[in-house]
Amino acid sequence: MMILVLIQFLVIILCMYGLKALISDFTLKKYKSVLIISGVFFLIGLIPILNPGILSYTSAGDAQYASKPDILDMLKTARMEMMVQDTTRMLVIIAVFIGIFSAFYFKKINRDLLVVGVILLISVDMISVSYRFIKHAKLVRPDRIEQQYFKPTKTDQILAKDTDYYRILALGGLFQSNDLAYRHQIIGGYSAIKPQLIQDIIDNNLYTDNPKAPVNWNVVNMLNGRYILSPAQLQYPGLAILDVDQNRRTILYRNDNSLPRAYFVKSVKVILSEKELVEYLNNPNFDPSKMALTTEKPEQQDFNTDATVSITNYTPNQIDLTAMCQDTSFLVLSEAYYPVGWKALIDKNPTHIYQVNHLLRGIVVPPGDHKISFQFAPRSYYRSKWLSAVFVYLTWLTLIISAVYRNRERLNVKIKQIRKRFERVQ
């Protein structure tokens, strides 16, 4: 997607350089080239206008209407009318384009008016085409599209009863199912493009080499994997079957051992090597409900779990919690660790975020009742946004000043004429 945006940007730059080269020394030879190229496209555009039946106006998908010739004729007529309308608009644009360059060649307009005219011509074309799509988009009912492509399944109806925060792990071909991701948070994510930390867990820890126990349940539990959707039966303590879908050939389980989205642990184990830490996640003795792994050494490694925490606000850019701690505690938030932009506040005071279990976030919470907030506010974004706005205004200001400066003599003449007229009236 980004490469497509880059191509559009580069094409605009090349077009501006081409326009500059064209009008910097607009000789008779260049004028004839403009007329010839424009004339060729104008003649090509005349073909469907003069002989609209030259095209078939059919596609491979029209085979479904083979038994309904009336519908097929309507489609052909509609397509032919659209072709004639679009071609007519193209011919008008070419004619206006030739007129603008002819006026410039015969010195009826200056270079600035030529550039403005070309920009206005392109803008009119783009706006008219865009308005066509916007107009048709208003006719589309989102609820019907949702019912067509994301119709709620029995699995969705069961999961909708759970109003708490949870994730679902879909195994097999459903691992990155967009159907599930449309309504639920899934461990696999809806896209193959993921932060490296998440991909590390998927590649090294989520599954095991044991065919009898193919899933690393400790990792699933720490990722808040409360529900499992599997194409086959699973044997693991704490799994309860909620539904068997014969049509989709899936079994929905509830994982009673899954940890909540935010929880406290008794201890923090320091492993300086990130590679060794990732390997330790596969250790059967690793219990995410009691221990958090990190490469940083906190001031203490043993904590009190006599504490409660609840999520009060959950949005993509901010997560708010309330916590009650009898003693110093270590809170693990089952959200992806991303230090660039995320910050943690305890009672509006910044606190350090630890990278725990390679993927998650952890903070030290002092004794007492606290309001905790995780906020995504990258300085680079707001700084870039501010600089972008400043440079946009500076660009427009520069263009206005440049246009005024180039036409200052004409403006002075017009100002003097207006003054004389005003003096005569008085």
As a whole number of Å, the end-to-end CA separation of the chain is 64
**pLDDT of res. 129:** 80
- Asked whether the beta carbons of 364 and 351 are under 8 A apart, the reply is yes
CA dist 216 and 262 (Å) reads: 20
**Sign, Cα dihedral of 364, 368, 369, 370:** negative
The amino acid at 286? F
Give the pLDDT of residue 94: 93
Per-residue pLDDT of the chain (426 residues; tens, 9 = 90+): 557 777 877 887 888 888 888 888 888 998 999 899 999 999 998 988 888 888 888 887 777 777 778 888 888 888 888 888 889 989 999 999 999 999 999 988 888 888 888 889 888 888 888 787 776 666 567 777 777 778 888 999 999 999 999 999 999 888 888 888 889 999 988 777 788 999 999 999 999 988 888 899 999 999 999 999 999 899 899 999 999 998 889 999 999 999 999 999 999 999 999 999 999 999 999 999 999 999 999 999 999 999 999 999 999 999 999 999 999 999 999 999 999 889 999 999 999 999 999 999 999 999 999 999 999 988 888 888 889 899 889 988 988 888 888 888 887 877 778 787 777 766
- Number of C-beta neighbours around residue 425 at 10 A: 6
Are the C-beta atoms of 115 and 128 separated by less than 8 Å? no
Give the pairing of strands 329-333 and 360-365.
Answer: antiparallel
C-alpha distance from residue 25 to each of 28, 29, 37, 111, 238 (Å): 10, 10, 18, 11, 80
